Every structure is written in C-alpha cells, then in structure tokens.
Amino acid sequence: MDIYLLQIFLGLMSTLSTGQCAVLPNLVVTTLFKPENCTIKSEVHNRLVVHYKGYLKDFKDFDSSRDRNNPVSFRLGMNEATASWDTGLMNMCVGEKRTLFVPKQLVVARPGYEFLAPSGYDLLYHIELLEIDKVGPKKEEFFKEIDSNFDKKLSKDEVKFYLQKHFEMIDTNGNALDDNEVDPKLLSKRDDLIQQFFEREDANGDDIIDYNEFIKPKHNEF
C-alpha cells in the first residue's frame, strides 16, 4: 500500500472500544499443545485465524476448516463467532492447540458463523491458533467508516467518496485545510490510491472488497 495513503488511513482510524467476555462455567477448555515460545497471547479485540475440527457427542465430525483448507477468522471477545470461542480461546499463542467441550445449552452461533455451531448438540472442537492480528479492531472500524451503505462491501465509489471527504480536510503535509479547499496534488493521486487499495484488498478481483477479504490478515500487514 502506498505509504501516503497508509498514513491518511491510519490517522483516521478510530480508537478502540472495549470488548466484554462472557463467563461460561460449563465450558471445558483443555490445552493439548503449547509452543515453548508463548510470549504473544490472544486478547479481546484481536482477530484470530484458526483451524478447527468440530465433533458431535458421538465423535462424528460435523465440520472441519482443514478439510476445506480454509481457516476461520474472527475477532476475539466481540460476539462474532460463538460465545464458547470468545471465552475458550483467550490467552492462547500461535501454534497452540486446544479442545473446547461445549454443552448444548452453551451452543450459540452468531450470524455468519452458523456453520460453527449446530444447535441442540454437545460439541467438541479441536482448535489450532494460526495467527493473531493485533490491529484487527482498527481495521474493523476503518471498514465501517468507508462502507457508507452498510452492506459489508466496499465499492470503488465508496472508497472514492471516503477519500474525497478526507482530502477536503487535509493537505499533502497532513495539515487541516480551511473552507473545504482540496489540495490538487491529492486529487491527482486519488485514482492511483484507489487502484492500489483494490490491488491489495480485493483478493478475487471483482472490484468489490467484501468484509472477509478486508479483515483477512495479510503477511505484510501495516
């Protein structure tokens, strides 16, 4: 990403809000493997990327991200995936493996994550933490700021509008402008910036950055 665009974007990101974690007394969390190097641990707000396998009571698996070769990403402690994951995957380090036993009365799947938690069954998950993205919540706020029609997709027009809005408030040195005067240097860069932004974030090249494309951690993240 263009460093200048990055500076603008980072500067506009909102501060973090506070997340809450429910206490689930009947959830049984067992650590199967803990790497020796375990200094960075998962906390509320972090975006986690995990592989999991979910089993019903009879040990028949109902779902597996490994079989699909497609890990699941969610924000910890933010009521995104399931209540049991919000609680059971705290203080975990990359490479660590846990099982979570979730009695059926605690099985709650959030919208968009229904595949993780069939209701009416006791569930057992085998989970491996692949990545911790500490900037996840900032990206979340940023996405919402650009997504003016709230459809969880960013169009080029929305990004253009967003940049335009902020170009009217800032000059090339990052100083505030008076009277909605737009710096022509910024305007001349706008289409290039949008192009670079889409090259980076629009993984499937359909000219729409959907929510999952955007929040998926990139290896050269910020």
Which residues contribute to the site for Ca ion (CB under 5 A)?
A: 147, 149, 151, 153, 202, 204, 206, 208
User: In angstroms, what is the minimal distance from the CB of 13 to Ca ion?
Assistant: 18
**CB nearer Ca ion, residue 52 or residue 197:** 197
**CB nearer Ca ion, residue 1 or residue 208:** 208
DSSP string, 137-194: HHHHHHHHHH-TT-SSEEEHHHHHHHHHHHHTTB-TTSPBPSTTPPPHHHHHHHHHHH
User: In angstroms, what is the minimal distance from the CB of 148 to Ca ion?
Assistant: 6
User: In angstroms, what is the minimal distance from the CB of 1 to Ca ion?
Assistant: 16
User: In angstroms, what is the minimal distance from the CB of 9 to Ca ion?
Assistant: 17
Q: Measured between alpha carbons, how far is 45 from 92 in angstroms, rounded to an integer?
A: 13
User: In angstroms, what is the minimal distance from the CB of 183 to Ca ion?
Assistant: 26
**CB nearer Ca ion, residue 9 or residue 85:** 9
Q: If you search the block for the tokens 């380090």, which residue do you land on? A: 93
Tokens matching residue 137: 């919540």
**CB nearer Ca ion, residue 116 or residue 209:** 209
**CB nearer Ca ion, residue 27 or residue 208:** 208
Terminal CA-CA length for the chain: 9
Q: Is 60 left (phi over 0), alpha (psi -120 to 50) or beta?
A: beta
